[in-house]
Structures are given as C-alpha cells and as structure tokens.
C-alpha cells in the first residue's frame, strides 16, 4: 500500500507539474484582468493617478450621449445585418449542398475567403471602390442610376450602409460553413420519405431542413450578436474611427477611445465594458430561450 500510495503521489505531482504552466497563464491573462477590472471600475483616472470614484463611472455613463448613440449603432447593425447575413448564409449553403454538383469546392472556398482576408487589405479595396470618385460611384453615374456621387464614406447614413455591406461580405461565408455541416448531417432517408409522401422541395425545406438546423441557426445568431456588440474593426478601418460625425461609432470603438485615445480613463472604459457584456448576455439569454424552446 505504501508503494502504491507513493506512486499515486508521484503521479499527482507530475499532473500538477504538467498543468502548472497552463494554470499560471490562465490566472495571468484571464483571472487577473477580471479581478483588476473590479478595482478599475471604482476609480477615476487622471493621467497616471487615480482616485476612488465609487459608482461615479456608471452615473457618468447615463449622461454620456455619445456612448448611447454608439450603442444604438450596435443595435442598428445587429437588427439589419445579422438577419440578412444568416438568410444569405443559409441560402448559399442549400444551393451549394443541393444545387451545385461541379466545382462545389471552388465555390465554397470563394465564399469563405472574405472572412480570412486581411482587414487592412479589404479596407483599402473598399475605400478605393466607395470613395466619392471611386469605381462604384462612376459606374452608377455612367448607368444614370444616380445624378450625384453617393457619399459612401462621408455621409453618416451611407457610412452605416457601408459597414453593413462590409460585415455581410466578410462573415456570410463563415456562417455558411456551419450550415453546410448541418445539411450534410441530415439523413437523406428523411428527404426520401418526404418525397414518397408527396412533399415538395419547398415543404421539405420548411418542415425538415429548417427545424433540424435550428441549433446551428441559434449558434450563428448568438455568436454574431456577440461579435456585433464588440464591433470595432470595420468602423475603425473603413470610416476613420467611427466617422463621419460619430455616424458609425460603436460601443467597443468608443471604449477604446476613452481608454487609450481621448482621456486615458480606464475606470470609465471598464464601466462601459461591463455594460456591453451585460447587454450581450441578456441578448444571448433571450435568443437561447426563444430558439432553444423551438428546438424542443
């Protein structure tokens, strides 16, 4: 028994030795930032100095019109872009799975390619296409579809449209891959039985395909919602840090500017981050309750 106990103690020490580095890294890069944020959120920063501020950062947030405007942009992008993207991704997945037989792999790669394209590269291309004298405006003018160049990047309304187009272009292929996997896992015998019963392709889609894809649709919507609440790259790179006139400013971009650009107020930025995380959690809970209940 002594030898057996010594052996198990030896294995226990080896186990802790193996997981030690991972545990240390987790504590350093996950637990410490979370715990330190609880300290930061109660402080008011002025340069390198900070003083106790209590709930002052949250009170300040309620009077910050720019933050609420930025948060409204997140909701706008979420309400318009996510439904368009999910529907397009589902349609493309069905077409590639059922309608295209030749060169299917090539089309999958082409549709998926935007989400792995460098943000800097595609931002430069989008700016070249959408500037006032860019290719798209010249094409619309030559086709007599517009009488004056559209301010895709200079007008607050059209800048929002530009962000929605860019997000849809970038992430549709990413979500399409998940739908493709879901379609490939549906037993073909279900469709064969439906055809024997005389169900049309449309009826098969709404009665078989769509219900069986609900878990993947839920996953796509929840992850897309979380990503949209953290939207930073496109407004920062495409419309010059949330311009024009804060027309595409998002909550994440505003938090970044509060912490590192404008005021170096880490306490206020942390308080805003807590609010964004809370809202994201509420949306995820609502979506899981709505679509998760249908799955049952």
What is the per-residue pLDDT across 138-152, written as a single tens digit (0 to 9) for each? 999 999 888 889 999
What are the extents of the domains in the chain?
A: 2-57, 63-295
Distance between CA 180 and CA 108 in Å, rounded? 10
Tell me the C-alpha distance between 153 and 159, whole Å. Answer: 5
Helices assigned H by DSSP within the chain: 2-26, 32-40, 56-62, 65-94, 104-112, 119-130, 135-142, 156-184, 188-196, 201-204, 210-212, 214-229, 233-238, 251-256, 266-295
Residue 13, number of CB atoms within 10 A of its CB? 10
pTM above 0.95, yes or no: no
Alpha carbon 28 to chain centroid, angstroms = 26
Which architecture, in CATH terms, is 63-295? Answer: Orthogonal Bundle (1.10)
* Greater model confidence, 216 or 265: 216
- Judge whether residue 225 has pLDDT over 70: yes
- Could you read off the pLDDT of 61-86 as tens digits, one per residue? 999 999 999 999 999 999 999 999 99
pLDDT over 70 at 294, yes or no? no
């Amino acid at each position: 028994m002594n030898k057996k106990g010594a052996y198990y103690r030896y294995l226990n020490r080896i186990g802790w030795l193996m997981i030690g580095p991972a545990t240390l890294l987790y504590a350093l890069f996950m637990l410490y930032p979370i715990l330190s944020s609880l300290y930061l959120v109660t402080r008011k920063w002025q340069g390198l100095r900070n003083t106790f501020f209590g709930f002052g950062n949250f009170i300040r947030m309620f009077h910050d019109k720019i933050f609420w405007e930025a948060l409204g942009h997140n909701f706008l992008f979420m309400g318009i872009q996510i439904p368009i993207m999910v529907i397009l991704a589902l349609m493309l997945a069905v077409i590639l799975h059922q309608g295209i037989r030749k060169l299917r792999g090539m089309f999958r790669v082409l549709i998926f390619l935007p989400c792995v394209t460098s943000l800097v590269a595609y931002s430069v291309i989008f700016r070249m296409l959408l500037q006032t004298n860019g290719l798209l405006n010249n094409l619309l003018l030559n086709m007599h579809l517009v009488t004056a160049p559209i301010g895709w990047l200079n007008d607050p309304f059209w800048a929002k449209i530009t962000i929605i187009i860019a997000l849809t272009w970038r992430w549709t292929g990413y979500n399409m891959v998940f739908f493709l996997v879901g379609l490939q896992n549906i037993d073909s015998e279900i469709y064969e039985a439906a055809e024997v019963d005389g169900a049309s392709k449309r009826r098969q889609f709404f009665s078989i395909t769509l219900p069986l894809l609900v878990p993947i649709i839920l996953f796509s919507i929840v992850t897309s919602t979380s990503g949209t609440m953290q939207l930073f790259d496109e407004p920062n790179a495409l419309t010059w840090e949330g311009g024009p006139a804060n027309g595409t400013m998002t909550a994440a971009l505003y938090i970044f500017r509060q912490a590192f650009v404008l005021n170096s107020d880490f306490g206020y930025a942390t308080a805003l981050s807590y609010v964004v995380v809370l809202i994201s959690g509420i949306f995820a809970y609502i979506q899981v309750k709505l679509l998760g209940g249908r799955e049952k």
